[in-house]
Structure 1
Amino acid sequence: MRVTWDRQQKKLVSPTRPLQHIKEVPPPTPSQAPTQPQREIQSKEQLIPASADLWLDKLLPYLAPAIRPLLVQTIKEKKLTPDSISEIRLRVGRPLNINCNNGDILLRNVTAEELLQTLHLMSECSIYAFEEEFRQGYLTLPGGYRVGLAGRVVLEGGKVKTIHPVSSINIRIARQLKGIGDAFLPHLLGSEESLFLSTLILSPPGGGKTTLLRDLVRQLSLGRPDLALPGMTVGLVDERSEIAASYRGIPQNDVGPRTDVLDGCPKSEGLLRLLRSLAPKVLATDEIGRMDDVRAVEEAMHCGVSLLATAHGHNYSDLDKRSGLRIMNQLGLFQRIIILSPRPQPGTLVAIYNEIGEKIN
Structure 2
Amino acid sequence: MKQKNERYPESERIRAWYRINKRDLPWRNTSDPYRIWISEVILQQTRVAQGLDYYYRFIERFPDVRSLADASQEEVLKYWQGLGYYSRARNLHEAAQDIRQRYDGVFPSSYEAIRTLKGIGEYTAAAIASFTWNLPYPAIDGNVIRVLGRLFAVQTPADSGKGIREYRRLATLVMPPRHAGEHNQALMEFGALHCIPRNPDCTSCPMVEQCAGYASGDPHRFPVKQHKTKTRDRFFHYFFIKHNTNTYLHQRNGSDIWKGLFELPMIETEMPADLNVLQETSAFGKLFQKTGRPEFTLVADEIRHVLSHQTLHVTCYMVEVQQENAALKKMVRTSREAIDAYPFPKLIVNLLSKIEEK
TM, length-normalised to structure 1: 0.22
The structure with the greater share of residues assigned to helix is 2
The structure with the greater share of residues assigned to strand is 1
Q: Indicate the structure (1 or 2) with the bigger Cα radius of gyration.
A: 2
